[in-house]
Structures are given as structure tokens and as C-alpha cells.
Amino acid sequence: MDEGIRQSSGAALARAEALLASVPLVDGHNDLPYLIRIDPTARGNVATYGLAARRPSGDTDIPRLRQGRVSAQIWAAYVPPDEPRPASYALQQIGLVQAMLRLHADVFLAALREADIGKAKRQGRIAGFIAIENGAAIENRIDTLPAFYRLGVRLMTLCHNHTTDWCDSATDAPRHNGLSEFGRRVITEMNRLGMLIDLAHVSDAVMHQVLDISRAPVVWSHSNARALCDHPRNVPDDVLARVADNGGIVMANFVPDFISQRSRDWTRSLKDQYGKTRVGLDLDSALSRREREAGRWPRGTLGEFCNHLDYLAGKVGHEHIGIGSDFFGGPQGEGLEDVTCFPNIFAELIHRGWSETNIKRLASGNFRRVFKAVERAAWS
């Protein structure tokens, strides 16, 4: 299978554009709110950051979302793993997302339910959902979850790159053999509320335990197949074997070290044993040194990303996959540089012989099914 970028034929790209005009496209993860927060000029001010015009840098703005045919976006209220006041930080990021949606209400629909995806598509807007990335935000209190839910949070990633007081991370030393007893209560409460459980970032043990516990389908909002790239953030085959029975969805992402084994191997000397950038490393300088030593960084390609989609479809079925780009302002694979890339992905899948039905499932049908099931499983 070609691992490079295939030049999209006019016919395939036109067909992809037509398909994306007819069905919503859901992207499961974008870190733009954090980029607005840390931008040295904007400092969290959405108006100052300027989303209405095409920005000269970065990967996400309104013109490029439109060009990329995005119809629904899950915006991450990311909480850094070492943040001493994670609940406060999460509240600030939730407020920032709400400001984005409010300031650009002509473009974004503040979305709370699965039905809002179709509603936004019909109105020519983009459904904007809020996700908390890092369950440390609940500060070890179950009653924080319904409070966040009432603020509009509809998905929570259980941890990030560090193990928390109740959940082992994929990229840190385990402390709980998966979930603590409190962590199991978190899963039950998320089911009760109708909040999507996100297993991106968690350890393999947590993945299996959540699949044992959850009464509703779960998601991996931005993870790939570990069989193709051995990063611990990717999903192993023994977990993939259980996804269909759960009814869940694996949403493949664009991060070079999660797409490409060549990238993973090339950057390994810059990472710790768990795959995180080594503490205290000046990454830009380290990357420049590495390129002088080993040649250009092989960041992976759109074609290699599609290999993950092919592999995942073969393992879990076309009914259980989606796309979660994980745009975060940093380097992505070749052909995946910004949010305009989505039509080219679908054109490549058309080249590979994917059916229209399966392409529509990937675009949003699978995520909408999962979201509906999570809503139905909720109880008061």
C-alpha cells in the first residue's frame, strides 16, 4: 500500500467534496482553546486571537474549517498534567470555548446533544462541543462531574500524560493496576450523566477495565493502531478485539509519532521510556540537532494515516472508526498540516475503494450512533 501522498484526482476529490457536502464531518479532538490561552499576544482573548480570518500560522481558523468541510468539532478544554488547580484551569478553558462559540455564533452552534450535529449541518454552521482533556479536573470529587456536565461538557478524557490519583496513564508509571475504586465510580457516574468516556491517553489496563464496566459505548477520541506504530498511546489489538462488542469508536489522529513507526523511531532519543518528550528538553533545538544527525524528520503522511484507518476497519469494522485530528499547533504529518486536509483524506479512501456507505460512517455516522447510545444509556 502506498505510504506517500497520492495526488488526488479531480474526480476523487470532487466526489469527496460532494459526500462531505451531504453528510456532517465530525472531528473528535482539537486543542485550539489551549493555543488561544498560551498565545503571547491573545493570552486567552478569543477576539484578539482572530479566528474569522485565515491566520498566517497554526492549523485552525474559521476559513480553513470551512474549506475542510468540518461540521462538528469537539474542542478540548485541556488541563496540563502538572497543573496544581486543575478544576479552576478546566473552568477557564470551558469559558474560553464558550467565548469562541458566542463570539462567532454565526459560524458555531453551541452543541449539547447528538441532534445538534444534524441541526448545525442544516443551518450551515459548525456544531461546537466541549470536552475536558484530563480527568484530574474533577479533583477527586464525583459531584464535580454533574457540575461540568451542566456547563456543557459532553466528553472527558480520563487522564492525560501523567497517572492521576485514580487512573493510570499510557505514558506514565502505573499506580492503580488500571483504575482505582474511585475511578470505577467515575465511569458509572459518566454513564449516568450521558457523558462520553474517552480512553485516549489511558493505560491498556484502564481500557480493559472500562470496557468491563461501562454500560454505554466508549470512544478513543484521538488514538491510532499500535500494531502499525508502537507508541503506548495507540490502541493494542487485544483491546481492538473488544471495541465492536462495546459499540464504541476509535478516532484516528494525525500526530507523527502515532502515525509513523519511522517517526516514532526517529524521535525515540528525545523521549522518555513512556514516549513523552524528556523533561527540560528544548524541543526545537533538539529536533534541529536530530535532523543534522539523522536527516529530515519522517513525520508520516496522509497515506500512512489512511493505513491506520484501513487497519482499524479490518480489526473493529467500518462501523467503529472515526477521525480525531488532535490539531495542537505543532507539526503534523505530510498532507495533514491543517484543517483543510479532510477532503483529501476522503479522496484517498475513495482511491482505495472505500464504499460511500463506509465513508459516511467514518465522517460522522459512527460517532453519532455512539453519542445517541450514550444519551440513551443515561439515567437520572
Residues 6+ apart with CB under 8 A from 90: 77, 79, 132, 134, 137, 148
Q: Which of 133, 204, 257, 338 is catalytic?
A: 133
Question: Is 222 an active-site residue?
Answer: yes
Q: State how far the Cα of 98 lies from the Cα of 27, in Å rounded to an integer.
A: 18
Question: Is 231 an active-site residue?
Answer: no
Question: Is 208 an active-site residue?
Answer: no
Q: State how far the Cα of 325 lies from the Cα of 221, in Å rounded to an integer.
A: 9
Question: What are the helix (H) ranges across 232-330?
Answer: 237-246, 256-259, 261-266, 283-294, 302-316
Q: State how far the Cα of 60 lies from the Cα of 339, in Å rounded to an integer.
A: 6
Question: Is 29 an active-site residue?
Answer: yes
Question: Is 201 an active-site residue?
Answer: yes
Q: Which of 201, 318, 320, 351 is catalytic?
A: 201
Residues in a beta bridge with 74:
129
Q: State how far the Cα of 218 lies from the Cα of 197, in Å rounded to an integer.
A: 5
Query: Environment class of residue 122 by beta-carbon count within 10 Å: exposed (0-12), middle (13-18) or buried (19+)?
Result: exposed
Question: Is 284 an active-site residue?
Answer: no
* CA distances from residue 220 to 207, 225, 333, 363 in whole angstroms, order as listed: 10, 11, 20, 15
Question: Is 338 an active-site residue?
Answer: no
- Match 506504530 to its residue by C-alpha cell: 229
Please give the helix or strand (H or E) that residue 72 lies within, else none: strand 72-78
Q: Which of 61, 114, 160, 348 is catalytic?
A: 160
Q: Which of 59, 326, 334, 348 is catalytic?
A: 326
Q: 209 by DSSP, 3-state: which?
A: helix
Q: Which of 29, 162, 176, 208 is catalytic?
A: 29
Q: State how far the Cα of 203 lies from the Cα of 179, in Å rounded to an integer.
A: 9
Q: Is the separation of the CB atoms in 169 and 162 below 8 Å? A: yes
Q: Which of 162, 176, 222, 308 is catalytic?
A: 222
By annotation, the residues acting in catalysis are 29, 31, 133, 160, 201, 222, 326
